[in-house]
Structure 1
């Protein structure tokens, strides 16, 4: 394995040290964080583009496929999602 030297701040060094167990290297921690990011990324680039296009259309006054949601309905949806996340 070829190694590279990277510059990090003292703060980042401290945070990496806190995240690493005694048996882990900084490389292990960074690999874990990168994998975690990709596995938990909210949207793919394609999805983000679709959503951004929808937002742009909405901002330009195109209300096609737009539905109204009451605050009560939104609270119900949030509660349902919170329950599902706790499972």
Structure 2
């Protein structure tokens, strides 16, 4: 493995040290943070772009991709999502 040197502030160094367990290297911590970010990133850029486009269309009155849902169905969907998040 090729080693690279990066410059970080003392504050960042201290934060990385706090996140590291006894046997972790900074490389381990940074890799973990990158993996965590990728797994928990709410939207990919393309997804966010598509959602923003849908919102713009809706705001302009274009309702082609809009469907109606009853309050009861919405509550069921929310409950289902909450249960999935608890797993």
TM-score by length of 1: 0.75
Matched with 1:4 is 5
Would you say 1:23 and 2:26 are equivalent positions? no
Secondary structure (helix, strand or coil) at the match of 2:15 reads: helix
TM-score by length of 2: 0.75
Matched with 1:59 is 59
Once superposed, what is the RMSD of the aligned Cα atoms? 2.1
Report the alpha carbon displacement of residue 85 of structure 1 after superposing the two structures with TM.
2.0
Where structure 2 has 5 or more consecutive residues not aligned to the other structure, the ranges are none
Would you say 1:38 and 2:38 are equivalent positions? yes
Where structure 1 has 5 or more consecutive residues not aligned to the other structure, the ranges are none
Instruction: Count matched residues.
Output: 86
